[in-house]
């Protein structure tokens, strides 16, 4: 089970990059999201599954690595999905969403940093979930205002 958890936690091995694994995972998700658009029901189902396996694999791999190891990037994938979910799969919005998500994930304003203090896999995932929610709200406002 550790092998499966490792594959999930590292988003298929992206987390093993020495630098920029989180950004690489977010960008990889954006490419997949753009190439394979899906309906809202499938988005909701995928998000629930992604969050569940993200918490499970993060918790499992913390026993091998350390809490919120740089190798664990499934949280970036989940946060990126939250950012883009239920919005038009337009390339401009995907790029803006990726920039917004990475900003919130790196800077960690508005309580995002405190979310990491939750125990085990919940803490690993929670900060990226919040970053995704904040990015989604801003991106939704951009889409509604038709700024791009």
Asked if 14 contacts 60 with a C-beta cutoff of 8 angstroms, the reply is no
- pLDDT above 90 for 47: yes
Q: Which of 11, 8, 39 is nearest to 24 (CA)?
A: 11
- pLDDT above 90 for 93: yes
The domain segmentation of the chain, as residue ranges, is: 2-145
pLDDT at 67: 78
Q: Which two tokens stand for residue 43?
A: 């988005």
Share of the chain above pLDDT 70, in %: 100
- pLDDT above 90 for 36: yes
- pLDDT above 80 for 1: no
- Counting every residue, how long is the chain? 148
The pTM of this model reads: 0.94
């Amino acid at each position: 089970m550790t092998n499966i958890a490792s594959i999930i936690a590292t988003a298929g091995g992206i987390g093993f990059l020495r630098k920029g694994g989180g950004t690489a995972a977010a960008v990889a998700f954006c490419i997949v999201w753009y190439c394979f658009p899906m309906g809202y029901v499938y988005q909701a189902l995928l998000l629930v599954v992604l969050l569940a396996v993200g918490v499970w694999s993060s918790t499992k791999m913390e026993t091998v690595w350390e809490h919120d190891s740089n190798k664990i990037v499934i949280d970036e994938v989940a946060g990126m999905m939250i950012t883009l979910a239920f919005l038009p799969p337009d390339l401009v919005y995907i790029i803006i969403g990726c920039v917004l998500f990475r900003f919130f994930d790196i800077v960690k304003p508005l309580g995002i940093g405190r979310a990491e203090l939750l125990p085990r896999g919940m803490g690993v995932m929670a900060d990226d979930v919040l970053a995704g929610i904040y990015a989604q709200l801003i991106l939704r406002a951009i889409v509604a205002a038709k700024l791009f």
